[in-house]
Structure 1
Amino acid sequence: MITTPRSGHPNQPYGATPRSASYGRARRGAELAPASSRPAALIPLPVFTDRYRDVTDRRLAARLAAEDLAEEAEELSPHERVTCRLHRRWMHQCVASPQHAIAVTGHRWCRRCEVALNVAVDELTGTVALTCARCRLPGSGPANRQVVRTCRASIAAVRAVGEPVRALAS
């Protein structure tokens, strides 16, 4: 058993570091480290804000960029986002898209029937329901509960910001 000076871990190549454990802690609700304590590589870059320049809702664009940064820094799981990088919308507005059904993880998926679940989102009442079109049973399992939680958090985020701020037409 050889321990290298930099890694301090047996059987690990010289200078290698184990995968950061911060990803798991952040997923369980741990506080995010302040920007001043993060390495320079993780400090927000203009490239993320430029990516959403064409999004007219500037609060949505800012949240998209912030979640991109947190995801890149492994501080946020892609399944916990309240915005959708693919559709550039709040998650509850596009969760019914076929791209959001993931059979492998069980997100928006009926394991009994092996089909994507239908999604009903009521923004007025804040309710989210997942139902299988074949067996008519509600979606169950941890991944489907996570989809419901994420959609509810997305609705709450929209309500918290009020009416979207629109960019001025030029």
Structure 2
Amino acid sequence: MDATSAKQVGTAEEKAMYATSSTRTALAAPHDRYADLTDARLAAALCDEDDAEETGLNPHERTTCHVHRRWLHDCVSSPLHVIVVTGHRWCRRCECAVDVAVDELAGDVSLRCPKCREMPAGPANRQVVRACRASLAAAAEGRGHGAPWTLDVIARGRGEDR
């Protein structure tokens, strides 16, 4: 490691200046981080959801993931999407992370605990399934592959009956 990369920000003033310049850069061009994505629809959805989250969208209702820069159903199996405190992708009875199965052809998502082999109860896990189904529908719609299940998934995501 060279001296430049090993340098750390030391004083409180330096830390404040670094944080301020980082924040200013992020605020100046919030959607530049998606400019390199080849899927324009995904990039637009990421931008829209980032903006909506700033004005009140529950981050757990997103159909995209700003961390992985992907549709939620593409990365929901990542350990980063396990939130023990809220119960997202978590089995409280067995105290372990829950496995996710995404079937893009059928447009379905299911969760299953690897220990008890059941879908853990609770609103957080139902929310994960709902958000992933909406993500599947949005991605399929963008590819022009609107499957028969797409309208049902969109309606369920909005709380409508079909």
- TM-score, normalised via structure 2 length: 0.70
- 1:89 aligned to which of 44, 65, 70: 70
1:66-100 deviation per Cα after TM superposition (whole angstroms, max 9, x unaligned): 100010122x1100000000000000000000000
Give yes or no for contact 1:48–1:69 (8 Å, CA) kept in 2.
no
Deviation at 1:163, TM superposition (A): 5.4
Matched residue type, 2:64: T
The 3-state SS of whatever aligns with 1:48 is coil
Q: CA deviation at 1:46?
A: 7.0
In the other structure, the counterpart of 2:55 is: 73
- CA distance in 1 between counterparts of 2:28 and 2:39 reads 18
What residue is the counterpart of 1:131 in the other structure?
A: 112
CA contact (8 A) 1:82 1:150 kept: yes
**Residue type of the partner of 1:68?**
D
CA 1:115–1:127: 2 relative to 1, 3 Å:
same
Code of the residue aligned with 1:53 in structure 2: it is: A
User: Which amino acid is the alignment partner of residue 104 of structure 1?
Assistant: V
Aligned to 1:56: 38
Identity value in percent: 62
Q: How many residues align?
A: 119
Per the alignment, in what secondary structure is the counterpart of residue 31 of structure 2?
A: helix
Q: Which residue of 1 aligns with 2:92?
A: 111
Amino acid at match of 1:102: I
Q: How does 1:142-161 map to 2 (within 5 A)?
A: 142-161=123-142
For residues 127-156 of structure 1, what are the alpha-carbon distances to aligned partners after superposition, in whole Å with 9 as ceiling and x for unaligned? 111000011111221000000000000001
Alpha-carbon RMSD across the aligned residues, in angstroms, is 1.6
Indicate the structure with greater helix content. Answer: 2
Structure 1 segments (4+ residues) deviating >3 Å: none
Can you list the C-alpha shifts for 1:107-131, whole angstroms capped at 9, x where unaligned? 0000001100000000000111100
Q: Distance in 1 between matches of 2:73 and 2:40?
A: 18
CA distance in 2, matches of 1:125, 1:46: 41
Deviates more, 1:60-69 or 1:47-56: 47-56
Q: Which blocks of at least 5 consecutive residues in structure 2 are unaligned?
A: 1-26, 146-162
Determine the structure 2 residue equivalent to 1:99: 80
Q: Scaled by the length of structure 1, what TM-score is found? A: 0.67
Asked if the contact 1:96/1:118 (under 8 Å) is kept, the reply is yes
Partner AA of 2:73 in structure 1: H
How far apart, CA to CA, are the structure 1 residues paired with 2:28 and 2:132? 28
- 1:17 is matched with none
The one-letter amino acid of 1:152's match is R
